Structure 1
Amino acid sequence: MTARQRTSPVTKSEKPPTEQKPTIASSEDFHLSPPKLRVIFVISSLLCSLYLYLLCFHYNVDSELKRPILINAGLSLVGFFVTLKLIPVAARYVLRRNMFGFDINKRGTPQGDVKVPESLGIVVGIVFLIVAIIFQFFNFTEDSLWLVEYNAALASICFMILLGFVDDVLDVPWRVKLLLPSFATLPLLMAYAGHTTIVIPKPLVSYLGFEILDLGRIYKLYMALLAVFCTNSINIHAGLNGLEIGQTVVIAAAILIHNVMQIGASVDTELRQAHAFSIYLTQPLMATSLAMLAYNWYPSAVFVGDTYTVFAGMTMAVAGILGHFSETLLIFFLPQVLNFLLSLPQLAGIVKCPRHRLPKFDPATGLLTGTKDGTLVNVYLRIFGRKSEKSLCIHLLVFQALACAFCFLLRHFLAGWYK
């Protein structure tokens, strides 16, 4: 949920003038700020360099796997530029339909009175789907074993984009938002034909007497719950310019690195294909997200809306489920897990939950002060003191990167002992 305030609807007591068309925001004088490509170059260089090095030089990846991965990367790069071109066009259209908001974290300043086009996450979702669908021509045949699950994954993601855009337009209550991902995962759950087993940790094998446990349908319930968590966790860990997309690209980079490491270290053909499958979904997500970040980085020229947050969460959940690394994915989501635990008293209704659980902005200094609301953003400010919005976002993204690095260290030290 972005730091925005939507225009108030007309109340029942207010009667609009008769025979008058609805007011539409004028976009004739609208000029979108240019994309911050220098920032995107720095972020993409930091996040993608290690992944590309591991893929192209460090590991001897089979050409049968490397070729489709590189084709997917090329299509994703095209998706990056297409997204850059479409965002200004879409911003003008949504502004004409009065789909804009005001940045609450800039209230009291001239920037706080600017109408910011919102729900631009729909552009990222559409370009992502087009890239993912075109990629099928280069990698899948009609009798491919992975084609059914691939299309089911795209159906779930498409369903989530639709529900997210409906939420942006209709402003669905947050309790309903918790249930929406469970409906969006139905195509994936119905088509899933992978294993439903888990590997018992080695320290527990001697006590249980078996190494593999088949969960059956319970595993599919676990998949649905994972999707619900991922989609909503991105949505509630928000409120700063660039935070929603920033955390997504950091996690996406970690997913790519993890996948290529598993491909390089594994000799199991099916497992390698599963991790390649995850890469096919994550590369276009990261490329299109970086294009949107160019406009959403501080100060935001556009808002992504719930369309983007739920789409991004669903895509990463699907990548983790079909890549068979859901446990690792949850550790990548460590800041989101912490934010959810901090938010639980308010989400459960134990503590009063305001509509916007945002820090308090001081127009005189331009700094944010943490409130008593249970979010990671506010807790971080209460611990480390007041910060500017841009500085706070960078700190939280660094924390996200450290959480992902911790996951890799944890896997390294537990390898061979835990599983």
Structure 2
Amino acid sequence: MAAGGSPHSSATALSRTETLSLVSLSGASLAILANTFHGDGEPLIASLALSLIAFSLCYAMIRWLGPTFMKAGFRGRDLSKLSGGEIPECMGAVCAAVYLITVIVFIPFPFYKDIVAATSGGGNRDVVVEIQYANEGRFLHRFPHNKLASYLGAIISLQTIALLGIGDDLFDIRWRHKWWIPGLASIPLLVVYFVDFDVTSIVIPLQLQPYLGQLFDLGFLYYVYMACVAMFCPQSINMLAGINGIEVSQCIVVSLLIAFNDCLYLFTPYPHPATDSHLFSLYFLLPWIGVSCALLHHNWYPAKVFVGDTYCYFSGMVFAVVGILGHFSKTLGLLLVPQLFN
């Protein structure tokens, strides 16, 4: 090692191949992102491009921040190895930070058409706007505030659960104290659901419809059910753990299955009423798949980092967010059956 060099420099530095690959991937993604503004914003393409950028950023930051986390006390010994020193822990916090930055940067893209339409003249200087409309300013009553509220409510819930995960990694909170905290994080989701949707009926299976009818209204209990979903999802990911890569790999599998389910509603010969809900789901899932793939590379056996409780809680809340606001909580429950049995 060269004089004055850090003992961690070789472990944290990206190789030439990794650097070129990440820079090329990020450059191509930025070009795609810039091109989306030439049309109507193309939010799904923009989300995919931002997800690739999130992968590159998360991949590099996990490598760079490892020694910093170890100095702060976030380290642990891998019991899956016969010998070896301590490795960084709580790297799920890096994924959560990159993910939150990504979804915040993405906010203008799904509303690009609405933002342009809300400006006087739709952004076209050749359009003459009558004086009474010019005095009123922008046509904000046409803006989909309900969709923006859903998006921001989801971000608030995710930020809250990130604080819980980091707090658990710091203080090792007892189960009897932390199991109900995701329920508090779900309050923004439930409020948005009540204001925007407020459907509390469930579809009865065909075999029982002659006796109970087609729909059964749960009323207030439906919100209790959704709060239970929000409490179960973060804990379920944390239960199935202990082997290198198992937390991240199960989350990637569930994310891909939910994304596949979303695509079934998007690529149809006719417009589906649930298209917007499943687009909303994809906007939150694609960046999470990106950062999770970056973390999986470092957490796969033999693990170079540990994910920590932050990743488990945050990933579970991502699933709860898309399941509740995407209106497919029963499908989500089906995908989490292995965690339920565990």
Q: Deviations over 1:258-300 (max 9, x none)?
A: 0101223485654110011111111111011000111111111
Give the aligned partner of residue 182 of structure 2. Answer: 181
Do the aligned residues in 1 keep the contact of 2:12 with 2:64 (CA within 8 Å)?
Answer: no
Once the two structures are TM-superposed, the CA of residue 71 in structure 1 deviates from its matched residue by 1.2
1:29 aligns with 2:32: no
SS of the residue aligned with 1:198? strand
Q: Secondary structure at the match of 2:173?
A: coil
Note closer, same or farther for the CA distance 1:134–1:253 as it changes in structure 2 (3 Å cut).
same
**Offset at residue 66 of structure 1 (A):** 10
Check 1:177–1:28 CA distance in 2 against 1; reply closer, same or farther (3 A cut): farther
Q: 1:335: Cα distance to partner? A: 1.3
TM alignment of 1:4-83, pairs within 5 A? 28-30=6-8, 31-32=10-11, 67-83=42-58
Q: Which position in structure 1 is the counterpart of 2:201?
A: 197
Segments of structure 2 that go 5 or more residues without pairing to the other structure are: 22-38, 115-139
- Gaps spanning 5+ residues in structure 1: where? 1-26, 42-63, 340-419
Aligned residues: 284
Q: Shift of residue 172 of structure 1?
A: 0.6
User: In the alignment, what sits opposite 1:228?
Assistant: 231
In 2: Cα distance, 1:65 partner to 1:320 partner: 27
Paired residue type of 1:162: L
Per-residue CA deviations over 1:138-196 (Å, capped at 9, x if unaligned) read 11257223110111011101110111001001111122221121111111112222222
Aligned twin of 1:165:
166
Asked if 1:120 is matched to 2:91, the reply is yes
2:83 counterpart of 1:110: yes
| Aligned partner of residue 202 in structure 2, secondary structure | strand
Deviation at residue 134 of structure 1 after TM alignment? 1.1
Contact 2:93 2:162 in 1 (8 A): yes
Moved over 6 A (4+): 33-38
How far the C-alpha of 1:205 sits from its partner, in A, is: 1.7
Cα offset, 1:89, TM superposition: 2.3
User: Deviation per CA, 1:289-324, whole angstroms, max 9, x where unpaired?
Assistant: 000111111111111100000000110111111111
Within a 5 Å distance, the mapping from 1:258-407 to structure 2 comes to: 258-265=261-268, 267=270, 269-339=272-342
Q: What code does the residue aligned with 2:275 have?
A: R
Partners of 1:227 and 1:134 lie apart in 2 by 25
- Three-state SS of the structure 2 residue aligned to 1:146 is helix
How much does 1:327 deviate?
1.2
* SS class of match (1:116): strand
Equivalent-residue separation in structure 1 for 2:69 and 2:151 (angstroms): 31
What residue identity is the alignment partner of 1:287? G
Structure 2 distance, partners of 1:184, 1:213, is 27
* Aligned-partner Cα distance in 1 for 2:162–2:42: 29
- Cα pair 1:33 1:301 within 8 Å, conserved: no
Tell me how far apart the structure 1 counterparts of residues 206 and 237 of structure 2 sit (CA, whole Å): 33
CA contact (8 A) 1:65 1:276 kept: no
Write the deviation string for residues 99-141 of structure 1: whole angstroms up to 9, x where unpaired: 20111232xx222xx1111011011101111111111111125
- In structure 2, the CA distance between the partners of 1:185 and 1:252, relative to structure 1 (3 Å rule), is same
Conservation of the 8 A alpha-carbon contact between 2:12 and 2:63:
no
Find the aligned partners of 2:11 and 2:327 in 1 and give their Cα distance.
41
Could you tell me which amino acid in structure 2 is paired with residue 197 of structure 1?
Answer: S
